[in-house]
Amino acid sequence: MNKPSSKEILAKLVGFPTVSRDSNLELIEFIQGYLAGLGVASELFYNQERTKANLFATIGPATDGGVVLSGHTDVVPVDGQDWTVAPFEVTEKDGRLYGRGTADMKGYLASVLAAVPLFLERPLSAPVHLAFSYDEEIGCVGVRPLLTELQKRGFRPRVCVIGEPTGMQPVLGHKGKMAVRCCVKGSACHSAYAPYGVNAIHYAARLIGKLDEIGEALAQPEHHDARFDPPFSTLQAGVIRGGRALNIVPSECDFDFEVRGVPGFDIGSVATRLEAYASETLLPKMRAVQPDTGIRFETLNAYPGLATDPESDAARLIAALSGVTADTRLFGTVAFGTEGGLYDAAGIPAVVCGPGSMDQGHKPDEFVTVEQLTRCDAMMERLANHLRD
């Protein structure tokens, strides 16, 4: 049986430039062909345009229980970044494997795929499921239709292991996220007559100021959750667009903001508070000048947080698989989000554990160390041993 190493497979995966704005089909078809060559059937779940697909495969008995190995196939762009190596090739140097996606998170996918022959060699008492999704980087988009389909089938695995880069440390929690666009419609006029117009940028600035006020309140000690860093829910406006010329009162201004909330915090409540401020305080002033002005909010994407019980079966299992003993296991969290909250909401307990560090993710000269990849390979071998008959 052909047994390519995780390093060899990683080189193949990185060679597919699966930036979220582009298709991932060449990579998915490569994986599907690799699995078929080992006798493993897989299903593809396409987006509406059929330009991208999720892949799902099961190894072992068609029973309840078992473990889902979940990861995303898309990567962030390299545009404008100063790379010293070719981003879509793997370059090995000083124990590091450089290339876009090596850490986030094709290293994990490579280790999973390299372990498939091992899963096949050892008769499994419970299945291993492979769930590879598209468009995680833009809001966990692809995994949603996959989970919907699996729920229709009564899919009930024991745990989902999401291989985002955690330095191979078990992570049981992360914040939820909501991204929102606010569109302010003002009324244009010559800047010499500014009081007769409605300055969309000024009103957007007031909304951003209100956002800061809400953020300051959420940062107070009574809202802290010490498991996270920072230990409270955070807000920020990240993109703003508006205005055409300095001598024209701007009629339009849009800004995008995000909320990252600790588990238990209603991330939608921030937009609700901002909408109330807009309708009760700002719109009456705007419409007193020009009746057809307005403020509109649009949710861009959102996913729930994750807070798996450290005493749960899922936590004990990932502690054993990762090699962390129960007496030293701590509740681990990460600042970035994953599809873990979506799996958890679908009734599938989720944990996060994978090779590499997000300190390298999304940056030029992204890398994963050979040592981290080896540790992930060892986790896959422990999984095969754990599930064998």
- Can you give the C-alpha Rg of the chain in angstroms? 24
Question: Catalytic residue at 74?
Answer: yes
**Chain-centroid distance, C-alpha 279:** 33
DSSP string, 89-121: S-EEETTEEESTTIIIIIHHHHHHHHTHHHHHH
Active-site hit among 8, 43, 64, 74: 74
**179: left (phi > 0), else alpha (psi -120 to 50), else beta?**
beta
Q: How far apart are CA 125 and CA 158, in angstroms?
A: 13
List of residues 6+ apart from 67 with CB closer than 8 A: 126, 127, 128, 129, 157, 158, 159, 160, 161, 317, 383, 387
**CB-CB contact of 109 with 75 (8 Å):** no
Tell me the CA distances in angstroms from 223 to 127, 228, 248, 257, 331, one per residue in order. 41, 12, 43, 20, 19
Question: Catalytic residue at 136?
Answer: yes
Active-site hit among 136, 225, 365, 366: 136
Residue 27 phi, psi dihedral angles, 5° rounding: -65, -45
For the CA atoms of 24, 26, 31, 36, the dihedral, rounded to the nearest 10 degrees, stands at: 140
Q: Which of 237, 193, 184, 182 is nearest to 215 (CA)?
A: 237
Residues designated as active site: 74, 136
